[in-house]
A and B are shown apart, each in its own frame.
Chain A
Amino acid sequence: MGKGALGKVYQPGEVITRQGDVGDCMFVIQEGQIQVSIEQDGVVTPLRVAGEGEFVGEMAIFDRCVRSATLQALDEVRVLTIDKKNFLKRIHEDPSLAFRIVQTMSRRVRELGGELVRLKQEVGAGDSGGRAPGNQDH
């Protein structure tokens, strides 16, 4: 990565932020790819791969919960950090600064909706009794 490359460089496999950590910033990927994954009951589920220009960890800007996912460099990745406190201050001056983040979140809600429908349909199709997924006992 060049002398003029802004941000911080992470090596392949390096964890940028871990699920459960306190989040006080978001990231914008400048180069490379990041694996977003969630761990539950000891099982790591890869959610998606984020690439150049994408926002990751943006929920930390707007809520006070801990990180919901782990971000890990897939290859050599360069990431720019946006500080929560200063960024919120700037949004107060110029609310449209949050427009692209809201756009990103909106797109992800759509994608999650689509994913939920797909999963429900899969569960429904696999249910021999043909019950609706929402009526299952577990």
Chain B
Amino acid sequence: MGIFTFGKEWAVGETELQLKDGSKVAVIGGGPAGSFFSYFLIEMAERAGLEINVEIFEPRDFSCPAPAGCNMCGGIISETLVQNLAAEGINLPSSIVQRGIESYILHMDVGSVRIEPPIQEKRIGSVYRGIGPRDIKERKWGSFDLHIEQLAADRGAKVTRGRVDRVTMENGRPSVAIKGGEPQIVDLLVVAVGVNSPTLKLFEELDIGYKPPKTTKAFIREYFLGEKVIAEELGASMHVFLLNIPRLEFAAIIPKGDYASVCLLGEAIDTKLVDEFLSSPQVKNCMPDSWSPEPRSCQCSPKISVEGAIHPYADRLVFVGDCGVTRLYKDGIGAAYRTAKACATTAVFEGISSTDFEQHYWPLCRAIRQDNAIGKATFSATRVVQALKFARRALLNMTAKEQKDPDRSKDMSHVLWDMFTGSAPYKDIFVRALHPRFISRLGWELLASALPHRRQDHLH
């Protein structure tokens, strides 16, 4: 005779790998992945009539200035995530959103063009994961990570400040201990740390088949400009750059409240590449006249995931967010939300065995991985555009014509908008770029830009 437990029939004696009333769940990492997981786990358990004890272990205090409270990230909340969270009843207050982004400006050596969103509304937010850079003068805005951690705490999760330094399996159950603390055995262990965390090494020794994601290094630097100067010079626009600088794949200047964040993605980013980018006329044009690359407020070179983890689950153990699978280059916080929620849904409604995670959690991770493969191809195409001046000119002209004419279909604008904002899956962007109208218009612009008498550089 079986026992019916949340849509799944179990034979007697096989209900061990299920969460029950009073189950203990430990979450390592109180960033967005860990906090979203805790929030949704408790919410869904309540819907299912279960009382579960959730404890988040987080060494950082997000209310401290960098690096003590920072999770090292560009700090963009995509419009998809803003809308999803609003539908979940999680509205981001203006006390943590430093600036609402209403447009993107693409800068190239052949000119610049402003790309307006599909609807005139600020639906992208720039935030600081912690409270702000090292030399923060006035705490006008709160930390995004602290806000999400607090949401989880308000739901009932216990937050313990401390770094987990011991993880073992005791009779098939995970045991965790923070530095100087007693080990505690839990029913489910959720790992939600970033790829920069030393905690990840603990799991390579557990013999569960887990291999951390492959990484590359990004570069983030903060400049204090003041609220007024940011509003005047950068506005409510994210500035993105397609410059012909070797090894540079993507560069952006993100306006925050008092600061501007410079973010670079590419291969082996070093001081030479950073200096070449910051001294380019395109960067100087969008920064204030008095600005120079030095002095800076703070900077970091965090590792970012470029290929998901291998086997990020086992019985009673699962990895979410960056240490599992995340999106390539964009919308990491959105991926943390999606994987955390899918994992929480699996744990409450399906079970906590390796098979449960494989059947109900892994498909989302696999879909993100597959989409990242398309993303890599898309970024390769961008590199071709970066390297060829006539292609850059064609891209600029096609976009500028679309932005000027309200009746013209926004083929290139939508492709670029989704590429820069991370709002849509790479597959959608790729499919849109295969549309015959897109191809024919781009083909025409490429032809026109390659003709000597049509070559003109513009500022749109």
Inside 8 A of A94's CB, which chain B residues have their CB? 338, 341-342
- The closest CB in chain B to the CB of A3 belongs to B99
Query: Contact between A6 and B87 (Cβ–Cβ < 8 Å)?
Result: no
Query: Contact between A28 and B80 (Cβ–Cβ < 8 Å)?
Result: no
Inside 8 A of B99's CB, which chain A residues have their CB? 3-4
Say which one of B118-126, B175-183, B301-309, B447-455 lies at the interface with A: B118-126
* In the complex, A124 has a CB within 8 A of chain B: no
Query: Contact between A82 and B88 (Cβ–Cβ < 8 Å)?
Result: no
Query: Contact between A5 and B87 (Cβ–Cβ < 8 Å)?
Result: no
Query: Would A2 and B94 be within 8 Å (CB), given that A53-B89, A81-B123 are in contact?
Result: yes
Within 8 A of B (CB), among A89-103: 90, 93-94, 96-101
* In the complex, B98 has a CB within 8 A of chain A: yes
Query: Contact between B94 and A1 (Cβ–Cβ < 8 Å)?
Result: yes
Query: Contact between B257 and A4 (Cβ–Cβ < 8 Å)?
Result: yes
Query: Contact between B83 and A86 (Cβ–Cβ < 8 Å)?
Result: yes
Give 5 new A-B contacts, CB below 8 A, not counting A4-B141, A90-B84, A94-B338. Answer: A6-B92, A6-B94, A28-B86, A83-B118, A86-B83
Query: Contact between B98 and A8 (Cβ–Cβ < 8 Å)?
Result: no
Inside 8 A of A4's CB, which chain B residues have their CB? 94-100, 125-126, 141, 257
Query: Contact between B98 and A53 (Cβ–Cβ < 8 Å)?
Result: no
Q: Which of A28, A87, A93 contacts B91 (CB 8 A)?
A: A28
- The closest CB in chain B to the CB of A55 belongs to B87
Q: Give the docked Cα–Cα distance between A82 and B80 (Å).
A: 9
Q: Give the docked Cα–Cα distance between A44 and B140 (Å).
A: 44
How far in angstroms is the closest Cβ of chain B from A38? 25
- The closest CB in chain A to the CB of B428 belongs to A89
Map CB proximity to B onto A4-37 as digits: 1 under 8 Å, 0 otherwise. 1111100000000000000000001010000000
How far in angstroms is the closest Cβ of chain B from A17? 13
Q: Which of B47, B100, B124 contacts A3 (CB 8 A)?
A: B100
Inside 8 A of B80's CB, which chain A residues have their CB? 86, 90
Count CB-based A-B contacts (< 8 Å): 85
Query: Contact between B119 and A81 (Cβ–Cβ < 8 Å)?
Result: yes
Q: Which of B91, B97, B118 contacts A53 (CB 8 A)?
A: B91
Query: Would A6 and B119 be within 8 Å (CB), given that A53-B89, A97-B87 are in contact?
Result: no
**Total number of A residues with any Cβ neighbor in B under 8 Å:** 27
Query: Would A7 and B121 be within 8 Å (CB), given that A80-B86, A94-B342 are in contact?
Result: yes
Name A's interface SS.
mixed
Q: Give the docked Cα–Cα distance between A8 and B89 (Å).
A: 18
How far in angstroms is the closest Cβ of chain A from B61? 22
How far in angstroms is the closest Cβ of chain B from A23? 14
Map CB proximity to A onto B16-50 as digits: 1 under 8 Å, 0 otherwise. 00000000000000000000000000001001000
How far in angstroms is the closest Cβ of chain B from A77? 13
Inside 8 A of B89's CB, which chain A residues have their CB? 53, 100
How far in angstroms is the closest Cβ of chain B from A122? 35
* In the complex, B345 has a CB within 8 A of chain A: yes
Q: Give the docked Cα–Cα distance between A101 and B83 (Å).
A: 13
Inside 8 A of A82's CB, which chain B residues have their CB? 83, 86-87
Query: Contact between B84 and A7 (Cβ–Cβ < 8 Å)?
Result: no
Q: Give the docked Cα–Cα distance between A28 and B124 (Å).
A: 15
* In the complex, B227 has a CB within 8 A of chain A: yes
Query: Contact between A80 and B227 (Cβ–Cβ < 8 Å)?
Result: no
Q: Give the docked Cα–Cα distance between A52 and B47 (Å).
A: 24
Inside 8 A of A6's CB, which chain B residues have their CB? 82, 92, 94, 97, 100, 122-125
* In the complex, B231 has a CB within 8 A of chain A: yes
Query: Contact between B88 and A100 (Cβ–Cβ < 8 Å)?
Result: yes
Inside 8 A of B121's CB, which chain A residues have their CB? 7-8, 80-81
Q: Give the docked Cα–Cα distance between A23 and B92 (Å).
A: 25
* In the complex, B236 has a CB within 8 A of chain A: yes
How far in angstroms is the closest Cβ of chain B from A44? 27
Interface centre among B88, B89, B124, B364 (most CB of A within 10 A): B89
Q: Which of B91, B124, B364 contacts A30 (CB 8 A)?
A: B91
- The closest CB in chain B to the CB of A30 belongs to B91
Query: Contact between B83 and A5 (Cβ–Cβ < 8 Å)?
Result: no
Query: Would A87 and B83 be within 8 Å (CB), given that A6-B97, A53-B89, A94-B342 are in contact?
Result: yes
Q: Give the docked Cα–Cα distance between A49 and B95 (Å).
A: 25
